[in-house]
Amino acid sequence: MAAIHNDVAAARDIHNPTTYCKYKPLDLRGRTIEVIVGSDPPTTFTVHEHLICSSSEFFKSAMNGHWEPSINGSVNLGDEDPELFELYLHWLYSQTLLAQNDSPGHAGNAEYLQLAKAYVLGDMIQDAKFKDAVLDAMLLKSRSLASDGKYWYPVGPVIRYIYDKTLESSKARRLLVDMYTYHGQGNWLTTWASEDDLPKQFLHDLAAAMLDIRPCLKKLALAAGRKTHGSSTTKSCEC
């Protein structure tokens, strides 16, 4: 699971001689290439070719020797966000995604939206490991207490963005549905989201998931009833 931590924890790891990296050494062989991201104005990044091509199928294809980017050592991503690509490069070199915002409410949701956009970038550059790392980061953020002492989940615009930008088989869609199925409350849909934030397909997926767990909920309710009346034969639900 990808690491997600604050700057203090990162500094602690840097100065701890007993902290070892579980990942294989980075592949820093060969040349570096330029990646020009955005257009207003564009931002130029430099990255090791072997490293990025070993992780991204998009870059592997672009640099296969038969296309202009391979010859020039330069790839143009004019439609992408430089800030998101910088986040990707941070992950590529460190295998970590930093959690920088523990604010509750809309402020914290802004980081979820940024992670959702990072996931879509991972889709575009075809980096499955990065996409999994982003989902791990979203999951870990949801399990971390915010500054108000509560747990906050992605709401509103995050749902719309994921459903607008991903395919039906997307793991990101599945994660959102699971979060709402097992942890959701009604006000997530009525207070923290507008009607425009809730695609029909999301509501369909959520309804189907809720129906799927009803048998398990019934078993739990029956078990709780038997326990209340003194039975000692109750079993946990195995749905």
The 10s digit of each residue's pLDDT in 88-141 is 999 999 999 876 677 788 788 899 999 999 999 999 999 999 999 999 999 999
Q: Kind of pairing, strands 32-37 and 43-48?
A: antiparallel
pTM: 0.79
Q: Could you tell me the pLDDT band of residue 218, with boundaries at 50, 70 and 90?
A: low
Q: What is the pLDDT of residue 179?
A: 95
Q: What is the mean pLDDT of residues 32-56?
A: 96
Q: What is the pLDDT of residue 57?
A: 98
Of the ranges 85-89, 144-148, 210-214, the best mean pLDDT one: 85-89
Radius of gyration of the chain (CA): 22
The 10s digit of each residue's pLDDT in 127-185 is 999 999 999 999 999 998 888 898 999 999 999 999 999 999 999 999 999 999 999 88
Closest Cα partner for 90 from 98, 82, 81? Answer: 98
The tokens for 21 are 């990296």
- 128-142 vs 171-183: helix crossing angle, rounded to 10: 20
The tokens for 127 are 């980096």
Q: Is 207 helix (H, G, I), strand (E, B) or coil?
A: helix
Statement: residue 235 has pLDDT above 50: no
Statement: residue 67 has pLDDT above 60: yes
